[in-house]
Amino acid sequence: MSEELPWKPPAGSWASSAARRRNMQAIRSRDTKPETLIRRLVHARGLRYRVAARPLPDLRRTADMVFGPAKVAVFIDGCYWHGCPEHYVPPKTNSGYWSEKVLRNVERDRDTNQRLENAGWLVLRFWEHEPSDACADKIAAAVRRRRAVNGRDT
């Protein structure tokens, strides 16, 4: 039995069908497998952090991992949603909408980087396909460097 939507999507809606809409809405925006794996590895290296937190209170954007005192914000970007130069493949259906959405995401990522850097934060971005151990090593090294400069160990 097919499930009816309680409302009728507007003409030109982003979803090509009700099933596609449900599928797209089910995609996680946080706690993805790459994120959780990297978080576990960073935690195993003795570092603590906030998850899905705002680095700046007045910026309505969250980083995947935030190391507050060290001022390090970490983002693990999905290849499709953030336009990975190696893996992004434009969609075959409703390509105009999705390509524009990915472009807006890329522009927002750049704006976020700039705002955080202007506020003294170090921004680390990794693609979901990068080796998790290498990402965790880079994160740990950067946080420890920044803490040492600020006179705080670990």
Domains defined for the chain, CATH in brackets: 26-56+67-149 (3.40.960.10)
Residue 121 scores a pLDDT above 70: yes
Question: pTM higher than 0.85, yes or no?
Answer: no
State mean pLDDT over 15-36: 70
d(CA 118, CA 50): 21
Can you give the pLDDT at residue 95? 85
Residue 56 scores a pLDDT above 90: yes
d(CA 5, CA 37): 36
Can you give the pLDDT at residue 23? 61
